[in-house]
Chain A
C-alpha cells in the first residue's frame, strides 16, 4: 500500500545549525511534493513545492531536495532560529490531485 513517512521523533537542534527533515514514500510516483509548516493550534501553511524533474528548490533559508530514485525528500533550514520551531509536514499528490500528508516532524530550535 502507499505510505509516507516522516521522522516520528522530534528533532532538537541548536540555534544557528542546519535542521534536516526527511520524508520517505513508497508505492507512489508523485508529480510533485510539498512542504508545510504547522504551529500549535493552527492550520498548516504552505512553504515550498518541488516537482519530480527538479532536484533542488530554495527559498531564503529553506532548501528542499527530491530524489525520485530513493523516493525521498529532504527539507533543510539553514541558520535555524527559535522562531523556526514548529511541526513540518510533507505532502504528495495522489490521483485526482488530492494531497496525502505525512504525519509531520516536530522541530525545536534552542537558543
Chain B
C-alpha cells in the first residue's frame, strides 16, 4: 500500500496562475481532507469530503476549490494564486469521521510558493 500520495511535491507559481493539487489514497477511506500548514499556525483545514461526490468547507476555504469525483482521489484547486497561498499543503484520509476512528493518515505534503 502506498497510503496517501500527493502530486506534485513542489511547485512555484506566479500570482494569478492556477493549479491543481492531486491527492490519492489506496486504503478505501471514506473521508479525505486538505490542510495547509504555515509556520507558527499549525495545520488548518481547507476543505474536506465525507465520501465520493461530496465536499464541505473547512476553516480556511477562501481561494480554494475541491472535487471528489472518485473515492480514492481528492483534488485541490487554486483558480488564481496569491502570495498568501504560499504554504505547505497536506492531504489526509480516514476510514470514517474522526469521532469514530483513531487516526487520520497524512500524505507527504506539497510545498507551494506563489511569487
- A interface with B by C-beta (< 8 Å): 4, 8, 31, 34, 41-46, 49, 89, 91, 93, 96-104
Contacts and interface: CB of A to CB of B under 8 A. Distances in A.
Contacts of B108: 41-43
Interface residues of B, number: 27
Contacts of B48: 98
17 contacts: A4-B42, A8-B40, A34-B103, A41-B108, A42-B109, A43-B92, A44-B43, A44-B90, A44-B106, A97-B97, A97-B100, A98-B58, A98-B98, A101-B35, A101-B42, A101-B43, A103-B42
A89 B42 CA distance: 8
A99 B98 contact: yes
B16 to A, nearest CB: 28
Contacts, number: 56
